[in-house]
Amino acid sequence: MEYGKPEMMAVAIMRAISDGDIVFHGLASSTPMVAMKAAKAMGKTFTYLTLSDGVDHDYLKPPTVASTLTANTYEGSVATFGLDEIFDLYSSGKGDIAFLSCLQMDKSGRIAMSYLGGTYDNPKLRGPGGAGSATLTPVTKKTIIWKPQHDKRTFVEHVEFATTSPDVNKEFTVITTLCIFKKPAGEKYLKVHTIFPYTTLEEVKENTGWQIDETNVPVMDPPTEEELRALKLVDPNNILGFEFK
Amino acid sequence: MWGSDLVAKRPEFFQVVKSPFDGTEVVCVKALVPDYAIIHVQEADIYGNCRILGPSYQDALMARAAKKTIVTTERIVGTYRMKEEPKLTAVPHFLVEAVVELPGGAKPGICYPEYQAVEWPKHKAYQKAVKEGQVPQYADSMLEGRL
Amino acid sequence: MYDKTMSLSQAADLIKDGMLLAIGGNGMHRTPSIFSLALTKKPVKELKVCGAAPGLASDILFASFQADTAYFGFFGLENEAGLAPGMRKSMEGDNPKAKAIEGS
């Protein structure tokens, strides 16, 4: 079966989830939504929380839009657990994974979500804001950023104003269209952890705004037939493609 | 909020203080007391008891935080609906000051399960109206017969 | 319990200059957008808006320049519906009309 960047990213997200994890994604999060549905279809037994209040919704009902606030992530749920309850849960250290995104990021994992260009008070573009990431990043066991682009406008040398940044003592992962960056617990900077099969370390370097010192990094296994079938099963309308247009 | 530049940027909203219990530093967030919460629900009775179907978001929390709540509702229902299953009343009457029967009150957006898709032509008209400074004219077109 | 029903216009008249409003719903979902449009017909100004994810109904009050402050975690309309155009119009550039207080 053929695959492209969307499928590879989704599969990287699926593989990051372990049985027993409590996992959250927020609004405007079509990529992790499809990947988490597919991870469910693969039989992973994790808890799916999101801001439609639904807990472990019926993942077989296909999404028709990229919005992650619709009835699609609510119907067939076994319980409701709202955003304020999710924040309480994660603040008490019980959240395993939060999938978050960014407008820009630097090598220390400083994330810009508040604005792009200009200054905080006189921004060129006022962003949507951290969407809970400033609250969740410091308290979540594993923060995972997904970003459906990999270029020098996104991964910059220095982020002037950090809407949030990682806790030095916690693992922090970034999944892009080309690779996975990881900041291990106890370390300060992101390192290239794995590259995807269709790229090279050279291409990653050319498209990253900070200096990459790694010289030899493993290549992630391509998606398996089973993983690609799971993605097709939960997403017949190709909502996964939305963020990659 | 540790690691966020927002804490230093907005001292009127965030302050770092020492916990009176063990001296560790904690970020304090100022409590907001809204004058009104304004929510749109699917069912309310004439007294302001509200049922929210589907995702509730933070509406009940807002109603509790605010001094009073204004409710617009897809329909007015008999109070017997609330008595059938009291737990499903998301906002009780004593938090509410006003109830407006307003079918379509969340348009051109979505109100589960009544209308589940954005009315795209009207949303595009809104985006255009914002760009061109024509919001009053857009409001007129949406408010016809509703005031 | 007493009857609290009133017209949209009467309810909008409860809102006074400078009030802080918590506006329900999220993004394009179940926000009291028609109530906000009714407010744009009133002379009320200097409103403050708060919510975890203020959506369309809040955006309208920035589009009409009746709100000057937003307390929020996420202020957008999500995916297909895009960024919040009224919020952006009043908060961007050299002479912004409104202030962002991001809470999360």
pLDDT at C56: 98
In chain A, which stretches have pLDDT less than 70? none
Distances A189 to A163, A174, A238, B1, B26 between C-alpha atoms, Å = 17, 12, 35, 20, 25
- Predicted pLDDT at A18: 98
Chain A CB contacts of B9 below 8 Å: 120, 161
pLDDT at residue A245, as a whole number: 85
CA–CA min distance C18, chain B (Å):
10
Q: What is the pTM of this model?
A: 0.96
For residue C20, is it within any domain?
yes
The chain C residue lying nearest A82, using CA atoms, is C52
Q: How far is CA B77 from the centre of its chain?
A: 20
What is residue B109's predicted lDDT score, i.e. its pLDDT? 98
Torsion B55-B61-B64-B66 (CA) sign: negative
What is the average per-residue pLDDT within B102-118? Answer: 97
Query: Looking at residue A235, what is its pLDDT?
Result: 98
pLDDT of residue B132: 96
Q: Which domain holds residue C94?
A: 16-102
Q: How many domains does chain C have?
A: 1
Structural domain contains residue C70:
yes
Query: Closest chain B residue to A108 measured between Cα atoms?
Result: B3
Instruction: Say if the Cβ atoms of C78 and A121 lie within 8 Å.
Output: no
| Contact residues, B window 66-95, toward C, CB-based 8 Å cutoff | 66, 70, 72, 76, 79, 93
- Is C4 domain-assigned? no
Beta-carbon separation of A129 and C83 below 8 A: no
**Is C93 within 8 Å of chain A by CB?**
yes
What is the reported pLDDT for C85? 97
Decide which of B145 and B65 is more confident: B65
pLDDT in tens, A69-91: 999 999 999 999 999 999 999 99
Residues in chain C closer than 8 A to A65 (CB atoms): 79-80
Q: Confirm whether C57 is domain-assigned.
A: yes
The answer to whether residue C28 sits within a structural domain is yes
What's the pLDDT tens digit per position in B13-56?
Answer: 999 999 999 999 999 999 999 999 999 999 999 999 999 999 99
* DSSP character string of A145-193: EE-S--STTTB-S--SS-SB---TTSEEEEE-SSEEEEE-TT--S-EEE
Write the CA distances from C3 to A81, B44, B87, B93, integer angstroms. Answer: 32, 12, 22, 10
> In CATH, what number is assigned to the domain containing residue C59?
3.40.1080.10
**pLDDT on residue A1:** 78
Question: What pLDDT, in 10s, does the model give residues C8-45?
Answer: 999 999 999 999 999 999 999 999 999 999 999 999 99
The secondary structure of residue A36, as a DSSP letter, is H
- What rounded mean pLDDT belongs to chain A? 97
For residue C11, tell me if it sits in a domain. Answer: no
Percent of chain B with pLDDT over 90: 99
C14 contacts in chain B (CB < 8 Å): 36, 70, 97-98
Cα–Cα separations (whole angstroms), residue B117 to A227, B107, B113: 30, 10, 10
Picking from A71, A162, A165, the nearest residue to B116 by CB comes out as: A71
- The superfamily (CATH) of domain A5-244 is Glutaconate Coenzyme A-transferase (3.40.1080.10)
> Is C7 within the bounds of a domain?
no
